[in-house]
Amino acid sequence: MFEFQWPMVFFAIPLPLLCYLLLPATTKAPMAALKVATTQAFPQGNITTTASSRTNLAITTIIWLLLVTAASRPLWIGDPIVAPTQARELMLAVDLSASMQEEDMRLNGRWVDRLTMVKSVLAQFIEQRTGDRLGLILFADNAYVQAPLTFDLATVKQLLDESILGLVGQRTAIGEAIGLAVKRFDRRENTNRVLILLTDGENTAGNLTPDQALQLAVAAKVTIYTIGVGSAQQVGFFNRGSSIDERSLTAISKATNGQYFKATDAKELANIYQQLDKLEKIDANEQIMRPQQALFYWPLTIALLLTFVAMLLSWRGRH
């Protein structure tokens, strides 16, 4: 459907004509005349001049109409789209400590480091979060908000993909990651506030302990699902994998009505995300949206092109 957002602008169409009729005419200074007996030796340009004036008037009128049309903000409104509103706020906290570089996870038949596996599975999880607000926290020595809660899932996915090991340190600040996530949640009552914490170790850094952060989460009614990432298998001669503090992660999840999961490979991690969908499902009223596409640039572009044409005709008329 086509419509104008500011149709009142069309009342400005007769404005140039009113200015022409109401404003006083410009007086020209008298010019000296040369009297000749006959005009046969001079070219006759009355017809050409009249035709040129009419052409310029027509082009100027069209340009004015196009500018008024562009100013009225024409829009093309598409068909109604049902937008799901599950009213969930999900914050992802991803561990970037040094131990996440351990290559003990199998992905598509090859051994990869833990962060690569987390990125691969999380990317699919993010794509399926239509209707949810999603945020991203990266933590190691400290915790940082990489993406605030947003509906822009593509940006969250890109920021996760661009994260690298060592970006925020070498150790693991689980308490600060939880505390920062609690601060970033809105205080709306009709939503689920869920933190998904992925780590492969125990709290070894930060000014906020996991117990202190847990008190903040309980007070803010934030549900925490903790995921311990790491394989029990030894790859190669050395296994530098960190020791997951499963007891602490389990206690954090239980105190916030969440759940602790252990992910030892990509398939198991994907299954965890499917379980999270079932545990944190909210049915809400559907919202009808109609996409809008601005069209003002079409008449504006044509008006600019006609302006160049008028300038070209005026230049040719003088030469």
> For residue 305, is pLDDT > 80?
yes
d(CA 157, CA 155): 5
pLDDT band at residue 77 under the 50/70/90 scheme: confident
pLDDT band at residue 238 under the 50/70/90 scheme: very low
> For residue 280, is pLDDT > 50?
yes
Q: What single letter denotes the amino acid at residue 75?
A: L
pLDDT band at residue 83 under the 50/70/90 scheme: low
pLDDT in tens, 89-99: 889 999 998 88
Tell me, what's the pLDDT at 62? Answer: 93
> For residue 231, is pLDDT > 90?
no
d(CA 189, CA 192): 8
Q: Which domains does the chain have, with CATH numbers?
A: 2-19+45-78+290-318 (no CATH), 83-233+240-279 (3.40.50.410)
> For residue 180, is pLDDT > 90?
yes
d(CA 119, CA 109): 16
Q: Are 118 and 203 in contact (CB under 8 A)?
A: no
What are the φ and ψ backbone dihedral angles of 199, each rounded to 5 degrees? Answer: -150, 160
pLDDT band at residue 264 under the 50/70/90 scheme: confident
d(CA 178, CA 217): 7
> For residue 29, is pLDDT > 70?
no
Q: Output the six-digit token pair for 100.
A: 């996440």
